[in-house]
Structure 1
Amino acid sequence: MTLANSAMAVDQKRGPVTNLPLPRYVSLKANEGNVRRGPSLTHRIDWVFTRRDMPLEITAEHGHWRRVQDRDGAGGWVHYALLSGARTVLVEQDMAPLHDRPDAASPVDAALELGVVARLGECTLDWCKVSAGGYKGWIEKTAVWGVDKDEIRE
């Protein structure tokens, strides 16, 4: 690989507008967010996201618009003002246990139902600290969507 090709490969992994990594996770800041077919107000609204704090994955950028998708891969273009950098995750396992520590043998403080949206804190390779409904604890990374499997957060 030449130096020019190497630089191009790096550029393709960064958003052309924000220079932030692509893809990356964000959350829906508003109670409603129009999802459009293209990156402008003239494009048709295909549907509306209606769940505040829902985690979304940004896959592309164009001006003030971000192409996003949800955990099912459904998405489109959303105005950046409707998105927040605050990280959340979606629980994908029913009654997922919240542990005291990032250890399956540690005590369980609560269990989160399938579909719960939780605030994301720090993450190790296998565990993430989350909070939802007044409960805090460590959940296995495989039980949530909205964080990369190799992502570490401090």
Structure 2
Amino acid sequence: MPSMAHVRRFMTAAALALATLTPTWAQELVSVRNPNVNMRAGPGTNTEVLWKLAQGYPLQVLERRGNWLRVQDFEGDQGWIAASVTTNVPHHIVKGTRVNLRAGPGTQHAIVGTVNYGDVLRTTRRQGDWVQVQHPSGRGTAWIASNLVWGW
């Protein structure tokens, strides 16, 4: 059985690791402007493509080098992206497996749809622990608990 000191050290380490994956308002965030944007291993078009990113995909900016941004996504993956293919239009990405969208900011409101892990949602506003997003159908807005999404 692990000692309490061991458990506390583990919990502290886990909290610090999670903190690096949770954006704060002081951090610079961007979203992908165009569909199918390359995230690369280094700054420049002559470096390996690591991933293709969908339009709206939110990213945390870690470093700027010329016209390139070193970024990190919600899973902690890092790479480089051209600044010209980013925007300051806020988006969130779904972290939960299957998440309810609601008619209002709270669990007492009706479920109006569901989204899945990795779905990108356009952010329209925040209220407490809830985020209002553009409904994936394109018709109106819906609400999602902020702890189930990452972005701004």
TM-score (norm 2): 0.71
Q: Distance in 2 between matches of 1:111 and 1:32?
A: 24
| 2:103 alignment partner in structure 1 | 100
Q: Distance in 1 between matches of 2:54 and 2:109?
A: 32
CA RMSD, aligned part only?
2.1
Moved more, 68-77 or 22-31: 22-31
| 1:31 alignment partner in structure 2 | 35
Contact 2:41–2:50 (CA under 8 A) maintained in structure 1? no
Gaps of 5+ in 2: 1-24
SS of 1:101's equivalent in the other structure is coil
| Cα distance change of structure 1 residues 49 and 23 upon mapping to structure 2, 3 Å threshold | farther
| 2:112 alignment partner in structure 1 | 109
| 1:118-137 correspondence to structure 2 within 5 Å | 118-131=121-134, 132-135=136-139, 136-137=141-142
| Cα distance change of structure 1 residues 67 and 95 upon mapping to structure 2, 3 Å threshold | same
Gaps of 5+ in 1: 1-20, 148-154
Identity among equivalent positions (%) equals 25
SS of 1:103's equivalent in the other structure is coil
* Residues 69-111 of structure 1, C-alpha deviations (whole Å, 9 max, x = no match): 1222212221111111111111122331222221211222222
Task: Establish whether residue 49 from structure 1 lines up as the match of residue 49 from structure 2.
Answer: no
Task: Establish whether residue 67 from structure 1 lines up as the match of residue 70 from structure 2.
Answer: yes
The count of aligned residue pairs is 126
Which of the two has greater helix per residue? Answer: 2
| 2:143 alignment partner in structure 1 | 138
TM-score (norm 1): 0.70
Give the letter for the 1:91 counterpart. Answer: V
Contact 2:39–2:53 (CA under 8 A) maintained in structure 1? no
Q: Distance in 2 between matches of 1:33 and 1:55?
A: 12
